[in-house]
Amino acid sequence: MLDIQLLRTQIDTVAARLGSRGLQFDTAAFLALEEERKRLQTRTQELQAQRNALSKQIGMLKGRGEDASTVLAEVGRLGDELKACEQALPALLEKINDFTAALPNLPHESVPVGGDEAGNVEVRRWGTPRSFDFEVRDHVDVGAPIGLEFETGARLSGSRFSFLRGPIARLHRALAQFMLDVQTVEHGYTECYTPYIVNREAMVGTGQLPKFKEDLFWVLRGGDEEGLEQYLIPTAEIPLTNSVREQVLAADALPIRLTAHSPCFRSEAGSGGRDVRGMIRQHQFDKVEMVQIVQPETSYAALEQMVGHAEAILQKLGLPYRVMALCTGDMGFSAAKTYDLEVWLPAQNTYREISSCSNCEAFQARRMQTRFKNAQGKNELVHTLNGSGLAVGRALVAVIENYQQADGSVVVPEVLRPYMGGLEVIEAVL
RNA sequence: GGAGAGGUGGCAGAGUGGUCGAAUGUACCUGACUCGAAAUCAGGCGUAGGUGCGAGCCUACCGUGGGUUCGAAUCCCACCCUCUCCGCCA
């Protein structure tokens, strides 16, 4: 949510900055709503003040046992207009709220301007893609003989689900455990276990709702045809970030660093046919998520730091990657600035997204009403950041493809071996 | 799922439908007293919004949403949450 005061006072600047994200902001429509709001709100409050004063008089008169019928008649005259105002105002405020809740965050000034992913800027690269002396196969082919089963997943659930069996399932678990250990032990994040089903308010808080309902799975209790509005989380960012919703935090409690390993559920509406082969784009995948709740002055330093926390995983796994600064047109709804990490996938001969780290500034905090007591003793909105550290399914893909051998076996990266009972190579036996 | 109790300011805890945004205690802040502290005394101490250059004034908020009323923390309805007991359950 953008600051409504900013919208009221600097609407043209806001419109221009939103325009850099490719958004047409109808300023005239907004201004018209605002003008009406101002008129209606002022009038409503005026009438309420009159009513309150008269009602107070009635109370005093009756208290003294005197006749109140004159005042009663007077207050009666306010009735119709007041009732009309009290009905119209909330409706109008909701309309304005719907309008602003659908506006994305303003890009930070350092974000490159661009219309789509072609406008993203490479910041740095790490590692050298391995050269293969045999024909490289993709993770679907390498994975099949070590327990990666798409057909089973499809039979159980449908397309975009996979079933892991045996050593590859263990490798998947090892990756998640390893990531969680690095983020907690080396980078100071507090490990969390969170609900995977959350309510509407949480989804609104982080920005998935009201605009992106079609990307979510929503759930009903058995037997209910309708009921509470509850959703499967598309990322642990939602429970982690919302864990501080509607709170006023002590300044010395910040920064808060949280991490969680969780499944993520995404309907992938609109992805139409992209990445249908393999594990790249699934309805369900695991992720280790990082979230930071920080004071505003420190949020951009925290963002750089968080990108480093994600990079550390790839470096330890020995996976080549590059860091991309997303351009204005490619950023997510809640982000003011985003870096993507893209890992090298030899079979695709390209880099693919494996992590996304964003500073949302006060955008989510305003929606969640999360504040802290600043040095002046005033309540001030916090800044929130989130980042993948990393996507487990895509990390699995990257390991399989980058560590494959000519005989179909896959070498286990050294840092994962303690999580695999010392296993060094996964042999293709199944 | 069944039975009961309850949700009020940071916390605790009052509140016959009428000068209640809310007593009181406690915590916290400021000042006085003190060499300093404690104790004591005085004052201050919620959030959001509107309006004004400003001191300020006004509006809303007592779990949430409706309703009754000139007026609702207080009455009515629905829902949510918490606690206790019973049942079921990993």
If asked whether residues A158 and A271 sit together in one domain, one would say yes
Q: Determine the residue type at A274.
A: R
Q: Stretch A361-379: mean pLDDT, rounded?
A: 87
User: What's the CA–C1' distance between A403 and B87, in Å?
Assistant: 55
Share the mean pLDDT of chain A.
91
- Tokens 């004063």 appear where? A53
Q: Stretch A224-232: mean pLDDT, rounded?
A: 74
pLDDT at A56: 86
A353 is catalytic: yes
Q: Which of residues 11-40 of A touch strand B (CB under 7 A)?
A: 38
- Tokens 């009666």 appear where? A76
If asked whether residues A136 and A95 sit together in one domain, one would say no
* Contact, A362 CB vs strand B, < 7 Å: no
The answer to whether A313 and A389 are in contact (CB under 8 A) is yes
Question: What's the structural domain count of chain A?
Answer: 2
Beta strands in A86-185 (DSSP E): 121-126, 148-149, 163-164
If asked whether residues A46 and A142 sit together in one domain, one would say no
User: What's the CA–C1' distance between A295 and B46, in Å?
Assistant: 23
If asked whether residues A83 and A141 sit together in one domain, one would say no
- Rg for chain A, CA atoms, rounded: 27
Q: How many helices (H) and strands (E) does chain A have?
A: 12, 18
If asked whether residues A224 and A192 sit together in one domain, one would say yes
Q: Last residue of a domain, which of A101, A127, A149?
A: A101
With respect to residue A129, please indicate whether it lies within any of the assigned structural domains: yes
With respect to residue A12, please indicate whether it lies within any of the assigned structural domains: no
A266 is catalytic: yes
Q: Stretch A56-82: mean pLDDT, rounded?
A: 80
User: What's the CA–C1' distance between A117 and B86, in Å?
Assistant: 60
Of A403, A428, A343, A405, whose CA–CA distance to A133 is shortest? Answer: A405
For the cut 80, the answer to whether the pLDDT of residue A324 exceeds it is yes
With respect to residue A199, please indicate whether it lies within any of the assigned structural domains: yes
With respect to residue A8, please indicate whether it lies within any of the assigned structural domains: no
For the cut 60, the answer to whether the pLDDT of residue A121 exceeds it is yes
Q: Last residue of a domain, which of A101, A130, A162?
A: A101
pLDDT at A293: 95
A125 vs A228 pLDDT, higher one: A125
Q: Stretch A201-227: mean pLDDT, rounded?
A: 83
If asked whether residues A163 and A211 sit together in one domain, one would say yes
Q: Stretch A231-256: mean pLDDT, rounded?
A: 91
pLDDT at A227: 63
CATH number, domain containing residue A123: 3.30.930.10
* Contact, A371 CB vs strand B, < 7 Å: yes
The ipTM estimated for the assembled molecules is 0.82
pLDDT at A26: 86
Which residues have CB under 8 Å from A425's CB, separation 6+?
Answer: A405, A409, A410, A411, A412
pLDDT at A223: 60
Over the stretch A90-107, which tens digit does the pLDDT of each residue have?
888 888 888 888 899 999
With respect to residue A159, please indicate whether it lies within any of the assigned structural domains: yes
pLDDT at A333: 95
For the cut 60, the answer to whether the pLDDT of residue A228 exceeds it is yes
pLDDT at A67: 78
For the cut 60, the answer to whether the pLDDT of residue A119 exceeds it is yes
CB atoms within 10 A of CB A339: 23
The answer to whether A203 and A239 are in contact (CB under 8 A) is no
Q: Stretch A336-362: mean pLDDT, rounded?
A: 96
* Contact, A54 CB vs strand B, < 7 Å: yes
With respect to residue A140, please indicate whether it lies within any of the assigned structural domains: yes
Over the stretch A127-169, which tens digit does the pLDDT of each residue have?
999 999 999 999 999 999 999 999 999 999 999 999 999 999 9
With respect to residue A33, please indicate whether it lies within any of the assigned structural domains: yes
A356 is catalytic: yes
Q: Which of A107-116, A272-281, A332-341 has the lowest mean pLDDT?
A: A272-281
pLDDT at A226: 61
What value, to the nearest 5°, has the Cα angle with vertex A423 and ends A417 and A426? 110
pLDDT at A285: 96
Over the stretch A29-58, which tens digit does the pLDDT of each residue have?
888 888 899 899 999 998 999 998 888 888
Q: Stretch A58-71: mean pLDDT, rounded?
A: 79
If asked whether residues A305 and A397 sit together in one domain, one would say yes
If asked whether residues A63 and A204 sit together in one domain, one would say no
Residue A252 confidence class, pLDDT cut points 50, 70, 90: confident
Dihedral over Cα of A141, A144, A149, A154: its sign: positive
A404/A333 Cα distance (integer angstroms): 37
If asked whether residues A58 and A164 sit together in one domain, one would say no
A55/A71 Cα distance (integer angstroms): 8
* Contact, A197 CB vs strand B, < 7 Å: no
Beta strands in A32-97 (DSSP E): none
Among A51-65, A71-85, A171-185, A209-223, name the most confident range.
A171-185
One-character DSSP codes across A344-367 = EETTTTEEEEEEEEEE-TTHHHHH
Query: Whole-model pTM?
Result: 0.92
pLDDT at A225: 60
* Contact, A220 CB vs strand B, < 7 Å: no
If asked whether residues A127 and A245 sit together in one domain, one would say yes
Nucleotide nearest to A52 (CA to C1'): B71
Q: Last residue of a domain, which of A101, A129, A158?
A: A101
With respect to residue A11, please indicate whether it lies within any of the assigned structural domains: no
If asked whether residues A94 and A140 sit together in one domain, one would say no
- Structural domain harbouring A93: 26-101
Q: Which of residues 146-185 of A touch strand B (CB under 7 A)?
A: none
If asked whether residues A64 and A160 sit together in one domain, one would say no
CATH number, domain containing residue A85: 1.10.287.40
